[in-house]
Amino acid sequence: MKRKIIAYNFVLTEALEQLDDRFEVEYFDGINPKTDSAFLDALKQAEGIVGLALPVDKELLEHAPLLKIVSNNSTGFNNLSLDEMTKRGVMGTNTPGVLEDTTADAIFGILLAAARRIAELDHFVKAGHWTGHLTTEQYAIDVHHKTLGIIGMGRIGSTIAKRGHLGFDMKILYHNRSRNIEAEEKYDATYCDLDTLLKKSDFVCLMTPLTPETENLIGEREFKLMKNSCVFVNGSRGKTVDESALIEALRNKEIYGAALDVYRIEPINENHPLLQFPNVVTTPHIGSSTLETELKMANLAVENLLAGLTGKRPKNLVNPEAFKGE
């Protein structure tokens, strides 16, 4: 009898073909993992889970007595209750080092779109409103030689800084838990406290992981510190921003606009107030969503899974205390 694996919201199933000989794979997509009876039944025999955004908490773990590893098909792992997993000897892994360039392209792309009003003016043309010379009402703002403030200068933040500094001659400010000397040397980035960054930046780009410390990091107070000409960009996680405060800042014209790839609840409701602002660019969490990058991530997730199931230490283990091998 083959050992059981659960694939959860795992789109590129061809990456799982290497499991076929040794494992039985059950696929689940678009289900409620708390109530789906087939999923809960599969958990009883599952030794591994691979996929995206499955909340792995105490309740789930109690349904999965044989579970050895949860392989996240993403860089983030805030969906994993690592303390509970480690208590039970369940390993957790992620897929870092794959998506930095792709995500930086996407985030800098929506920054450009918001500054130059690309989505808004695309609609303007397609709606037949372009009938002559543009007026100042259709003018946008420059990106080059402006100040880009990056909150969270990790791998992706650094890659965004590279695009801003080397491609657009931007001055880079950053705020991070610790200094990023490499970014300072390569991109002339200047470390500063959060308030200084918010006050001086023409573009504020939020790229922090979601932690208890960063939840609602940007709220009413922070938006009031930003320039009226500032574009706010969120490429981190939706819960790092108080969306009600962002809506008020946009309504009161406290900021120029926003570019958002993440939201507190995803998919975002079609009637959400943020979708009513023409000066807000909204994309459906596309950071790493290219075929090339997603396939690399999927293959790495499967590689991590296989390692954990065959007694080896996964390359991208995020709770090393749970590993019981040599």
> Tens digit of pLDDT for each residue in 171-207?
999 999 999 999 999 999 999 999 999 999 999 999 9
- Confidence at residue 122, expressed as pLDDT on a 0 to 100 scale: 97
Where do the DSSP E strands lie in 61-189? 69-72, 91-93, 147-151, 171-175
Q: Please give the DSSP secondary-structure letter assigned to residue 208.
A: P
Catalytic residues: 237, 266, 285
What tens digit of pLDDT does each residue of 123-147 get? Answer: 999 999 999 999 999 999 999 999 9
Model pLDDT, residue 56: 98
How high is the pLDDT of residue 21? 83
Q: Alpha carbon of 110 to those of 212, 216, 282, 321: distances in Å?
A: 27, 22, 8, 39
Q: Which residues of the chain have pLDDT under 50?
A: none
Q: What is the largest CA-CA distance in the chain?
A: 72
pLDDT of residue 19: 87
pLDDT of residue 136: 96
**Closest Cα partner for 186 from 206, 158, 144?**
158
CA dihedral 110, 77, 15, 9 (to 10 degrees): -80
